[in-house]
Homo-oligomer: A and B are copies of this chain.
């Protein structure tokens, strides 16, 4: 029966999720990586992942994994897609659904991250990753860029209050190019999604820059 007419004639596989965790700090886009906790490739750098449990969707599994590793709930998560090459994992047939997450790098639970040996790496200064995880990172960045062109990204990566220069720098980091200050601000104004707070950040300039927040 070429197309299969009964479920129970079919094989089952492990189903996992892997998370590309983006953060932003020191004008750089960063990636949270972990030493792998089991064979094969024990202790090599990898994305944080986990197996999907019987009572949860992949989305829920990714949320759970992130909650357990960075200690935050309500994390912004977007599916990248399924990775399923038959030999992608020498440890067994594992189909993995990849996600990317955006987290505020200063809010995550440091204790949890260090418990699992997690470390933030600047993008493009990352070590070699296990399995097909580098491909996942590549696709994650493409998806993030796509999102950032359609809507203003920043709420999930920047602190509550931020200067327009910070936001400009975030975009510079995401696209690895320099957006013109004047044009960037004009665009922001047209979007009408930010509002000025009264306060100023005087740490980087004498004049001081107004803090903004998302409406």
A residues engaging B (CB < 8 A)? Answer: 2-7, 10-15, 37-38, 50-59, 65, 68-69, 79, 81-82, 84-86, 91-95, 97, 116
Contact residue among B65, B84, B91, B92 (Cβ-Cβ distance under 8 Å from A15): B84
Q: Chain B: which residue is nearest A50 at the CB level?
A: B3
Q: Are A82 and B85 in contact (CB under 8 A)?
A: no
Q: Which residues of B contact A2 (CB under 8 A)?
A: 68
Measured in the bound complex, the distance between the Cα atoms of B57 and A50 in whole Å is 20
Cβ A51 vs Cβ B6 within 8 A: no
Q: Is the CB of B97 within 8 A of A82?
A: yes
Of the candidates B6, B15, B79, B81, the one whose C-beta lies within 8 Å of that of A13 is: B15
* Copies assembled: 2
A86-B37 contact, Cβ under 8 Å, with A13-B13, A51-B10, A65-B3: no
Residue from B13, B50, B84, B97 within 8 A of A12 (CB atoms): B13
Residues of B within 8 A of A82 (CB): 58, 79, 81-82, 97
Contacts of A85 in B (CB 8 A): 57
A113 → chain B, closest Cβ, in Å? Answer: 13
| A11-B68 contact, Cβ under 8 Å, with A5-B37, A81-B79 | no
Given contacts A79-B82, A81-B81, A82-B81, contact A51 B4 (CB under 8 A): yes
Q: Can you list 9 A-B contacts with CB-CB less than 8 angstroms, sorted by A residue number? A: A3-B69, A7-B91, A7-B94, A10-B51, A12-B12, A13-B52, A56-B86, A58-B82, A79-B82
In the assembly, what is the distance between CA of A7 and CA of B53, in Å?
A: 12
Contact of A55 among B14, B56, B57, B86 (CB under 8 A): B86
Which residues on B sit within 8 Å (CB–CB) of A4? 50-51
> Chain B residues with Cβ under 8 A from A5's Cβ?
37-38
In the complex, are the beta carbons of A11 and B94 less than 8 A apart?
no
- The smallest C-beta distance from A5 to any residue of chain B, in angstroms, reads 5
